[in-house]
Amino acid sequence: MENAVVVFARRGCCMGHVARRLLLTHGVNPLVAEVDDEDENIIISEWGKTMINKEKLPVMFIGGKMIGGLENLMAAHISGDLVPTLRQAGALWL
């Protein structure tokens, strides 16, 4: 799947960098969409139409499914759920 992992992050945000680095350590090269400050509220309000809890950037999508912010990504990594999720999305081949 092309762009199986997408990260929306504020331009220059260190948390977006942390998310990208974590994914790179697993062999995944995510598409990182950098968002300017003025566009962040527009994007989050659009997501809010389909979500109950509005996330703040960075926000990760794996296989087209929003997994949430950096905290959720780290929790999936620590629990061991991240690699199977990445495989299922076609982001990992092994």
Sorted by where each starts, the structural domains of the chain and their CATH numbers stand as 5-89 (3.40.30.10)
pLDDT per residue over 48-75, tens digit each?
Answer: 655 545 567 899 999 999 999 999 999 9
What distances in angstroms separate CA 59 from CA 72, 79, 93, one per listed residue?
A: 9, 19, 23
Overall pTM surpassing 0.85 (yes/no): no
Sign of CA dihedral 80, 32, 1, 68: positive
Average pLDDT of the chain?
Answer: 87
Lowest mean pLDDT among 10-14, 55-59, 62-66, 81-85: 55-59
The CA distance from 26 to 49, in Å, is 32
